[in-house]
Amino acid sequence: MPKVKLMIKQLDSNGKSVVELSERCFDELRQVYRPTELAVSNKNSAKREWSCFGFHVDQVLVGVVEAKQIGSELQLSSLAVAPSFRQKGVARKLVDFVVTQFKPINSVSVWCVEQTGNVAVFKALGFNVVQRFDSDFFILSDGSKAVEVQLKQKVTA
């Protein structure tokens, strides 16, 4: 049985494989919610502040996440894992690796839309809910405001 080659490395967030994987994964979420014009504008203007990391299996990109450090907190955004690789440890390995790339970090923070079910994903990764509120950045498919949830995880040396 051939050995599978795993690799995590920093990528260009505008690279073709990153964009294609992100679009494929986020297309599912767009059935639940969509970003407002303000959210898209904010994301585009802050794009250079974020570093993108990708998880490869046999040279195929199967997971991505963006990260930026603010003080001693690492913020994560746009975590996406190909459907056929979910629940196989890709997100955990990606988050664990990214944390090692920034120093000194005391906590990791992520925001998600409650209605997607992703709060449970981050809780399984060891994150805890610290706040939730009606969003000005995301609208549900029925036109109502989405609920944004911030989760954090303490980082130990």
Each residue's pLDDT tens digit, 23-78: 999 888 889 999 888 887 777 666 678 999 999 999 999 999 999 999 999 999 99
In a domain, 37, yes or no: yes
The answer to the question of residue 131 being in a domain is yes
Residue 115 domain-assigned? yes
Confidence of residue 115 (pLDDT cuts 50, 70, 90): very high
Whether 1 is in a domain gets the answer no
CATH classification of the domain holding 138: 3.40.630.30
Nearest Cα neighbor of 138 from 66, 64, 24, 30 is 30
99: domain range? 6-154
Total structural domains within the chain: 1
Is residue 113 a contact partner of residue 141, using CB atoms and an 8 Å limit?
no
- Which residues, 6+ apart, have CB-to-CB distance to 145 below 8 Å? 134, 135, 136, 138, 139
Decide if pLDDT at 15 tops 80: yes
